[in-house]
Amino acid sequence: MKRRQEAGQSLVLVALVMVVLIGFLGFAIDFGYYRFLRRQLQTAADAAAIAGAMDFTYGDYSVAGQAASAENGFTNGGGITVTMSKPPTTGPYAGAAGNYVQATVTDTAVPTFFSKIFGATAPHLSATAVAEGGINCLYGLDTAANSPFTLTVSAVDLQCGVVSNNTFVLNGGELCAPSIQSVNWPAGTTTCLVGTSALPVKIPSTVTDPFCPASGCVMPQPSPAALPAKGTCSAGTYSVPPKPAATVITQANTYGANYCGITITSSGTTANPVKFSPGNFYGPITISNSVVTFQAGSYAINSPTKPGITLSSSIFGNSQLNFQSGSYTIAGGIQDNNFSFFGSYIDFNSTPGSTQSLIILDGGGLNLGFTAAKSTGGVTIFNTGTSSCAATSYTCYGQIISTFSFSGTFCGAKCTLNPSTSGLYPGILFYQDRTYTYSASCPFGGSGVACFGVNINVNPGTVAHNGTYYFPSNTVNFDFDFGAGTTWNYLIAKDVKWFVGFTFNSNVAAVPTTFPLRQGSAALVQ
């Protein structure tokens, strides 16, 4: 009898132990789920903070942050709350000035499974992250010593960030920016002596061309059009004599007369210009004290031994060259004769409201000594050519030399170049062939593939270049300021040299929405 009573007690003990074990198992499952959910919340908070920090300059960072949280499974509303704060409200960055954005994702409807059997209530889970945002608009890609930025008696002021793959050479100059990242600049050593600026921060590795990262280039290089051959034309030139009435020059009437070039002298007026119709033209085009318009369309101009287009005006002359919206391949490039500084200018896209035009300099480059330049619509100027050719050939790569001196009052209120805002090259003003490495002397000192010099108009900002300078394999030289009158600028080059100064404005609302670098950068700091 005694043994049978003990057997019954064992069953009761086993049942009690099973209940306890099941309870522990239930709590383990619930808390494992809470931990899993907490990790998901943190991922959503991290994504929201980064998205908010990247987009805070473009509008409502809360919208960007909440959208990123939703993409990670936590949509604001119901039992989910996604709170975006700038500046942060808690933690070590609470109230911090600068580009810090905080995201807090809270779930107040966390389900329970086994633990609710024992009366446990659902917890409120939350995760917080802080990211610092910024926009880099100045990239120096050269990794060699004493490069890529050289400032000689210069004050370069930016509203956006700087990335340098090596040091800065400050020959009596300063570089001021809200964010400066450098591979080799000594930590804590300032580049900004007078103005307000962030201290340079050392980065562990070099950066690549932001338009052409290791994952693949985001913007294809333009392809020059097929150039017309010489054909049967003789050595003579098709001439437009003094003629104020409108004249239309077509491919048919120049080839039909067997001419190897076109000279336009003292012809056309602003209201009644000499006009070109789209097509192919062989031989140089010379414009002397005339008003000429290339009508909208596609052109291929081939001039292997002379500049493709020459603006040849006398002092006090008034040559005007207008490119309407279209695609232009100009072998031999464009140049003036250095005497057109009282009234002459080129409008690289004279079509009002046009968002894009493409000028391809297929050899010869762009050499404007004293001719003003503007673009009523948007333009992208692509500089390319061949790397091996005869010394007298204009098919070789050429420099971009643009002084734009003394001409600010002759091309409207401002001689402003504006970039294309649509198509394949939104936001790009100057685009240098990536495969092209070249250096030659600049007219006012220094050397490089591009020389923007002596912008010394009376009114600051009269001569201005909006958009992006893209010279990833070459050196760019600036004398005086071409950015003071702009809305926004990016500059990506192997090396940059300044004399006197440059202003980088950053009105990001004006940047084309399809510009590859429009969105800022951000990094988690908490």
Tokens 């020389």 sit on residue: 451
Quick one: which of 482, 403, 395, 465 has its CA closest to 428? 465
- Which of 133, 156, 175 delimits the end of a domain? 133
**Does some domain include residue 71?**
yes
**Does some domain include residue 453?**
yes
Residues 305 and 351 occupy one common structural domain:
yes
Q: Two tokens at 296?
A: 């909208």
Residues 108 and 73 occupy one common structural domain:
yes
8-state DSSP, 57: G
Q: Two tokens at 515?
A: 């510009």
Which residues lie closer than 8 Å to 236 by C-beta, 6 or more apart? 258, 259, 260, 261
Residues 300 and 406 occupy one common structural domain:
yes
What's residue 386's pLDDT?
84
Domain with 497, as residue range(s), is 135-207+487-526
87 burial class (0-12, 13-18, 19+ CB within 10 angstroms)? middle
What's residue 450's pLDDT?
93
Residues 351 and 254 occupy one common structural domain:
yes
Residues 160 and 273 occupy one common structural domain:
no
Quick one: which of 340, 336, 397 has its CA closest to 368? 336
Residues 129 and 140 occupy one common structural domain:
no
Task: Count up the domains in the chain and report the number.
Answer: 3
The segments of the chain whose pLDDT lies below 50 read 1, 407-408, 458
What's residue 96's pLDDT?
81
281 burial class (0-12, 13-18, 19+ CB within 10 angstroms)? buried
**Does some domain include residue 514?**
yes
8-state DSSP, 77: B
What's residue 489's pLDDT?
94
Residues 396 and 365 occupy one common structural domain:
yes
Query: Read out DSSP for 469-525?
Result: EEEEEEEEEEES-SSTT-SBEEEEEEEEEEEEEEEE-B-GGGS-TT-TT-S-EEEE-
What's residue 52's pLDDT?
85
Q: How far apart are CA 175 and CA 71, in angstroms?
A: 39
Residues 450 and 360 occupy one common structural domain:
yes
pLDDT digits (tens, 9 = 90+) for 460-475: 557 788 999 999 999 9
**Does some domain include residue 223?**
no
Residues 356 and 334 occupy one common structural domain:
yes
Question: Strand pairing of 489-504 and 148-158?
Answer: parallel
Query: Read out DSSP for 288-299?
Result: ES-EEEE-SEEE
- Which of 133, 152, 181 delimits the end of a domain? 133
Residues 184 and 276 occupy one common structural domain:
no
pLDDT digits (tens, 9 = 90+) for 108-152: 877 765 655 555 566 788 899 998 777 889 999 999 887 899 999
Report the predicted TM-score, pTM, of the whole model to 2 decimal places. Answer: 0.80
**Does some domain include residue 341?**
yes
**Does some domain include residue 219?**
no
8-state DSSP, 265: E
**Does some domain include residue 256?**
yes
Residues 245 and 198 occupy one common structural domain:
no
220 Cα distance to chain centroid: 14
Q: Two tokens at 187?
A: 């930590």
Question: Strand pairing of 136-140 and 167-171?
Answer: unpaired
- Which of 106, 133, 160 delimits the end of a domain? 133
Please name every residue paired with 160 in a beta bridge, in sequence order, or none if there are none.
none
Query: Read out DSSP for 349-412?
Result: --STT----EEEEESS-EEESS-EEE-SS-BEEEEE-BSS--TT-SSB---EEE--TT-TTSSS
Give residue 105's identity as a one-letter amino acid code. V
Please name every residue paired with 335 in a beta bridge, in sequence order, or none if there are none.
310, 367
Please name every residue paired with 98 in a beta bridge, in sequence order, or none if there are none.
none
Please check whether residue 294 is in contact with residue 277, taking contact to mean a CB–CB distance below 8 angstroms.
Answer: no
**Does some domain include residue 217?**
no
Residue ranges with strand state E in 100-250: 100-107, 125-134, 136-140, 148-158, 161-164, 167-171, 174-176, 180-182, 201-202, 238-240, 248-249
Q: What is the largest CA-CA distance in the chain?
A: 136
Neighbours of 326 (CB within 10 A): 19
Residues 355 and 469 occupy one common structural domain:
yes
